[in-house]
Structure 1
Amino acid sequence: MSAYDVRRTRGRIGLVAGAVALMMTAGLMVAGNAQAAAGCQVAYTVSAQWQGGFTADVKVTNLGDRVDGWSLTWAFPSGQRVTQAWNATVTSAGAQHTAKNLSYNAAIGTNAAVSFGFNGSWSGGNTAPTSFALNGVTCTGSVGTPTPPPTTGPPSPTPTNSPSPSPSPGGDAMATVAAMQPGWGLGNTLDAIPDETAWGNPLVTQALLRQIRSQGYNSIRIPVTWTDHTGPAPSYTIDPVWLNRVRQVVDWSLAEGLYVMINLHHDSWQWLNGYLADRTTVMNRYTALWTQLATTFRGHSSKLTFESINEPQFAGTSGEAQGDELLHELNLAFVRLVRASGGNNATRLLVLPTLYTTSDQARLDALTTTLDQLRDPNIAATVHFYGWWPFSVNIAGGIRYDATVEKDLVDGFDRVHDTFVARGIPVIIGEWGLLSYDYTRPGIIQRGELLKFFEAVGHHARTRKLTTILWDAGSFLNRNTLQWRDQGLYQLMKASWTTRSATAATDQLYLPRTGTIASRALTLNLNGVSFQGLRQGSTNLVAGTDYTVSGNTLTLTAAALTRLAGNRAPGVNATLEAHFSAGVPWQISVISYDPPTQAAATGTTSSFAVPTQFRGDQLATMEARYADGSNAGPANWTSYKEFWTHFQPDYTANTILLKPEFFAEVNDGPVVLTFHFWSGARLTYRLTRSGGTVTGSVG
C-alpha cells in the first residue's frame, strides 16, 4: 500500500488508546563465538493499536560481550505479521519473524542498547511474543551459557511498563555539527500543507535519500508540519499513520548514513504564533507534540537531531524583544522536556533558532541568554540565510553579486561565528539559498551572478566552521529523475565544500551581429587560485593567439571571437571554459545579438504585454517612473520593480508581460518604463493608464 493510500484510508480506522509492554530476558551470543559470555534484555512495547493494526517498539540491551552484527528472532502467538519496519530489516516465515541490523546499528557494546520498531497487522488477537533470541540463542537474562529458544512459549506474562531506553554517551556537539556538513533540505514535502505531495513534490523514496548521500551530503533536514495531523486538545494525538510515515523517512535517511534533523515547521505561523494571546493552549499543544516525538524517537540513533521550531514568530508583540522572551520560554520547555524523556534524548543534539531564524545581533544575543541559562553541552544554534534581499528577489536594481551582497553575507556569517562558534557552540545554517531562485521562473537571478553567490556562501561558511543545509523544494534536484537540474551549479557547490573556485565579472560576452568584432577583456575573480587555460569543448584555445592573461584580466582576441561567433545567429554561438588550478571551470557564453526593439500595444490592467523582439538579448530588470520622475508602481521606494512578480519576459512569445500586481499600484496617467538588458542595451517605453485600459508606445 502506498503512503497515499495509507493516509486516504486512515479516516476509516479507529485508534484504540492504550499500549502493552513486555520486559523479557533473552540470550545473546556473538555469531561464530559459542564460548562468549552472553545475556540480554528485550523490551517489547505496543505503543499504538487500532482495528487490524498496531505499532510496536523493540529495545534490546546487551548484557554480554560486544556484538558486531545481530539477528533477533521471535514467533507471534496470535498470527500477527510485520508490515513495515524501521531501524531493522524484518522478514517472516509463518509465525517466525527475524529482525536484522542495518549498517548504522550493527554493533552493540556491553550494556549498550539498540532499538527498532514496526507496524503490524492482527485479526483474532494481538498477544505479545513470549520469547526472543539473538544470533540464534537465548538465555535466562544473566551472563552465562545460553540455551536454545523454544518454538512457542508459555502464556504471555502480565504486561508491565517499559523502562526508558538507556541514554547514549554524551557527544561533542561541535564535532557532530561538523560531521553534518554539508546538508540538504527536503523542502515542500513533509512540511507541505495539508499533505506530502500537496505542493507538487512526489512521495519521498529510499532512492531519493540514497542519491542525496551518494552526492556527498552528510545530513538531511526533514521539515514536518503537524497541524493537520493532530487530534484535538488536550492530548493533541498525532495521527499514527502520519507519524509512522515521518518515522519511515527518518529511518530510511539514517539507514543511508545521513544525520537527520526534524522539527515543527509551518506550525510556527499556523498556531504557535498565537502564544502571546493564549500561553496555556499553545504551550500545551507544543509540549504535547514534542512529548510524543521525544517518546517515539528516544531510542533512535544519536545521528537524529531535533529542532524546536522553524522560523519562530509571534503575533501581537510590542516588539522583537518581547518575541525573544516568548521564544526563550518555548526553547527552555523544549530542551527540558526532551532531556527528561530519557533514552538517547538525554544527550541528543538539540537545535535552537533565533527569533525569525535571523542573524541580527540582537536576536543572537537573545538566544545566547537562553543557552547560558540551559548550560547544556549538546545544543546547536540555527539561523537561515537567503542573501541580500534585493539581490535575492531581483528588485531595486539588485541584479549582480556585488560588494553590498558580499558584505551582507560576510557580516552575517561573522556575527554567528563570533557569537556562538568562537565560544564552542556550533551553528547550523538550517536553510540557505536565494529566495526567488526557481527553475520554473528562469531569469530572475542571472546564472553567472547566482554561481558567484553560491561559491561565496560555501567559502565563507567553511572558513567559519558553519554547517549549511541547502533548502531544496525541487529547484535543485529533480525528484522524479534524481538528476540535478543544473549540473554545473551542483559541481560548484560540491567544490566549495573543500576549496574555492574562480569566477569572473560575467559569464556572458555579447557581440554585435553586424560589423567588426573587437577584442574583449574580462576581469577574473581568482579567489586564490591561478588561471590554467581556456577551452571550447575538448579543444584548447591558444594562449597569445586566441587570448592573453595579465594579472586577473583575460582578453579574448578579435580573431578568436570572430571565429567563435560563427554565422553570428542571435543567441549563444559558443561556450568556453576557463580552467584554474582548483575548483570548477568558469563557463563563458559568446552571444550574438542585435539591439532589441519594441512596438505599440493596447490592453488592460489585467492583461498587458509589451511586444519585444529580443534578438538574442535577455532582460535584466525594469524601471517605472511617473512623468515627474517619481517612482511608479509597487515598492515605490525604488524605481526598479520586482522581476517576475511585477513583470516577466516571454522569449517564445516575444513579449514582456506587465503583471496585474504592477498595475494594482499604478496611478492613472502616463508612466515611463525603462527596460535594461544584459547586453547593456536600454529601451524606453511609455504607458498611459486610464482606469482599466492601458496603451503603450515606443520612446
Structure 2
Amino acid sequence: MRHPPRSVLLAVTGAVALVGAALVPVVSASGATPACTVQYTVTSQWDTGFQGSVTITNNMAAVSSWSLGFDFGGGQKVTQGWSAKWSQSGTTVTATNESWNGSLATGASVSAGFLASWSGSNAVPTAFRLNGTTCNVDSEPTPTPTPTPTEPPTGGSAPALHVSGTKLVDAGGTAHRLLGVNRSGGEFMCVQGYGIWDGPVDDAAIKAIADWKADAIRIPLNEECWLGLSNVKPEYAGANYINAVKDLVARVESYGLTPILELHWSYGQYTGNSSGCSDVHATCQKPMPDAQYAPSFWSSVAGTFKDDQAAVFDLFNEPYPDRATSTATQAWQCWRDGGTCPGIGYEVAGMQDLVDSIRGAGARNVIMIGGLAYSNDLSQWLTYKPTDPAGNLVAAYHGYNFNTCASESCWNSTLAPVAAQVPLVAGEIGENTCSHAFVDQVMKWFDDRGLSYLGWTWNTWDCSSGPSLISDYSGTPTAYGVGLRDHLRAINP
C-alpha cells in the first residue's frame, strides 16, 4: 500500500567495477590451521569509493563476542557499514559484533560489510586481528573472550513453517493459514527521523491484535534503517533498528503469531511513470529493489532470523516495473532477473537475486514474493517463478477495491491457477470506502480455497487515506476494520 507518511549508485554512474577477486589469502607456514582466518573482499569500486566485506572464521575456542582489527595503508576511510559496529581511528579500523551475531563457535564464520572512500591507492590490508590474535597465520588461541549475555531463544510459541505442495504447514505437517494484519511504521518513521515504530508495539499492543484472533503480523521494514546508512539518524538505524525489530518479532511470536518481515522502502532514484518520490533514498515505494543495498539487507535479515523458522520473509512490498517498461515480458524479466531494466535508472535486484541472498545466508525460511502492478498482477508469476533450493516460495497478492484485479472473475482467472501450484497469501487487503464490503468478498473467496490474507493496516490513520483498521491501539475497530475483526473471531473462536 502507498501510505502516508534512490539509481545514482553512490553518485557515480557507470563507474562501478566488480573486483571481487581482491581477496586476502589464508597463510599458514606449517600447514596447521590458523587460529582465525579473515577473507577481505572488495566487491565493487568506483573513482572515490568502494564497497568491501570481511568474512571471519574462528578456529579457536568458542567466543561470545568478537572484535576485528586491521589497518588501511592507502588513505581509505570507512564511511558506513552493516552487520558490525564499524569505527576508525587514524588508519586502524575496528569492527565489533552486533548483539545478534556475537557468538562464534569453533569453526564458525561471520560476515560484515562496509562502504569506504579512497584516493591514490586502495591497497588491501595485510594483517587482521580477532580479539587480539593475529589471523591467517599460525597462532596459539590464547585470548580470553569477554562474555556477553545469552539471548533468549527465538521462536516463542509461533509455529515453524514450511511449504508442502500448495499449503503452508507446521512442523507436524498440519496446514496453517496466515490470517492477520499489517503493522505499518518500521518502513517510514526511521527514515523520516521520528522514531522506529508508529505507535506502541508493547505487550498490550500485540495482545490487542491477538484478541482479534489474528495469527500473523506483517512488519514493513526500511533497508537503509536496517543497514544503518548515514542518511538515517543513528538512534533509529543499524543496531538500534535491528534490535527493535528483533524485540518485536520475539514479542509477536510469544503470542503465537507469525511475524512476516517485509522490505517496503528501498534505495534507488526513480522519477518515471507512477513515481512516488524523486528522492534517491528509501523514502517511498520504488518500482523494484536496488542491487546496491537490497541483497545486503536480505542477507543480514536472513542471517539474523535463519534459526527461527517461525519468521516469514516477504521480498519486496509492491513491485511495479510494468509502469516503467513498455512490454509485459520486459517487466516480468526485470522482476525475476533484475539488472538494467528499461525505464528504471538504477541497477535492479531481481527476485532471484534476493532469494539467492537469503539462501546464501543459510536461511530456509518461507519466502513470499509479490507480482507486478503493486503485487496485484500474478498472471505470469508461475512462468517467472524464481528458483529456490529450499522449495519454500509463496506467491503474494495485494488486493484493494481500486485495483485492476479486484473481482471474483479476475481472481478465478489469475489467482486460482497460482494457488493450484503454490501457497497463496494476500499480504494486503483493504479498501478506501471506510466500510468492509470489498474485504468481505476477498475473505470469502480466500476462505473457500483455504488461503491466507492480512488486512492493511493496524494503525490509527484515517480509514480513507490509510486505510486503517483501528481507531486506537487497544484494538477498537473502525467501520472498515470491524469487518476483519468480526470475521477472524468467527472463524477462529
TM-score by length of 2: 0.56
What residue in structure 1 maps to residue 440 of structure 2? 455
Distance of 1:478 and 1:180 partners within structure 2 = 23
Deviation at 1:80, TM superposition (A): 6.1
AA matched with 2:441: A
Q: Which residue, 312, 317, 322 being the options, matches 2:319?
A: 312
Distance of 1:214 and 1:86 partners within structure 2 = 28
SS at match of 2:293: helix
Q: Which residue, 292, 298, 301 being the options, matches 2:306?
A: 298
Distance of 1:316 and 1:477 partners within structure 2 = 32
SS at match of 1:484: coil
1:375–1:356 CA distance, 2 compared to 1 (3 A): farther
What residue in structure 2 maps to residue 350 of structure 1? 367
**1:224 is aligned to 2:221:** yes
1:16-55 matches, within 5 Å, as: 44=64, 46=66, 48-49=84-85, 54-55=98-99
Distance of 1:290 and 1:199 partners within structure 2 = 19
Distance of 1:459 and 1:218 partners within structure 2 = 18
Q: Which residue, 367, 380, 394 being the options, matches 2:394?
A: 380
1:57-68 matches, within 5 Å, as: 57=101
Distance of 1:200 and 1:253 partners within structure 2 = 14
Distance of 1:286 and 1:351 partners within structure 2 = 15
1:53–1:291 CA distance, 2 compared to 1 (3 A): closer
Deviations 1:266-294 (A, max 9, x none): 227766999xxxxxx93242222222222
1:156-235 matches, within 5 Å, as: 171-172=163-164, 174-176=167-169, 179-192=176-189, 194-195=191-192, 197=194, 201-227=198-224, 230=227
AA matched with 1:418: A
Deviation at 1:58, TM superposition (A): 6.9
Q: Structure with the greater relative contact order (CA < 8 A, sep ≥ 6): 1 or 2?
A: 2
1:542-691 matches, within 5 Å, as: none
Deviation at 1:20, TM superposition (A): 7.0
Deviations 1:610-659 (A, max 9, x none): xxxxxxxxxxxxxxxxxxxxxxxxxxxxxxxxxxxxxxxxxxxxxxxxxx
Distance of 2:382 and 2:456 partners within structure 1 = 25
Deviation at 1:416, TM superposition (A): 4.5
What residue in structure 1 maps to residue 248 of structure 2? 249
1:498–1:209 CA distance, 2 compared to 1 (3 A): closer
Q: Which residue, 496, 500, 503 being the options, matches 2:487?
A: 496
Deviations 1:5-37 (A, max 9, x none): xxxxxxxxxxxx978776799xxxxxxxxxxxx
**1:321 is aligned to 2:329:** yes
Counterpart contact for 2:158–2:256, Cα < 8 Å: no
Distance of 1:499 and 1:414 partners within structure 2 = 25
Root mean square deviation, CA, Å: 4.6
SS at match of 1:380: strand
- Residue ranges of structure 1 left out of the alignment (5+ in a row): 1-16, 26-41, 62-76, 89-100, 107-167, 275-280, 391-406, 438-444, 501-582, 584-699
1:325–1:492 CA distance, 2 compared to 1 (3 A): same
Distance of 2:218 and 2:242 partners within structure 1 = 16
Distance of 2:145 and 2:227 partners within structure 1 = 31
What residue in structure 2 maps to residue 331 of structure 1? 351
1:358–1:306 CA distance, 2 compared to 1 (3 A): closer
Distance of 2:55 and 2:206 partners within structure 1 = 32
Deviation at 1:430, TM superposition (A): 0.7
Distance of 2:58 and 2:271 partners within structure 1 = 37
SS at match of 1:175: strand
Deviations 1:489-543 (A, max 9, x none): 655434434869xxxxxxxxxxxxxxxxxxxxxxxxxxxxxxxxxxxxxxxxxxx
1:229–1:169 CA distance, 2 compared to 1 (3 A): closer
- Residue ranges of structure 2 left out of the alignment (5+ in a row): 1-52, 67-82, 88-95, 106-143, 274-288, 338-349, 462-467
Counterpart contact for 1:86–1:247, Cα < 8 Å: no
Counterpart contact for 1:432–1:469, Cα < 8 Å: yes
Q: Which has the higher strand share?
A: 1
Percent of counterpart pairs with the same letter?
17
Distance of 2:161 and 2:470 partners within structure 1 = 39
AA matched with 1:493: L
Distance of 2:196 and 2:57 partners within structure 1 = 39
SS at match of 1:252: helix
Distance of 1:412 and 1:478 partners within structure 2 = 29
1:269–1:283 CA distance, 2 compared to 1 (3 A): closer
Counterpart contact for 2:264–2:316, Cα < 8 Å: yes
Distance of 1:283 and 1:80 partners within structure 2 = 37
Distance of 1:249 and 1:302 partners within structure 2 = 16
1:385–1:102 CA distance, 2 compared to 1 (3 A): closer
SS at match of 1:428: strand
TM-score by length of 1: 0.41
SS at match of 2:330: helix
Distance of 2:427 and 2:162 partners within structure 1 = 23
Distance of 2:178 and 2:196 partners within structure 1 = 27
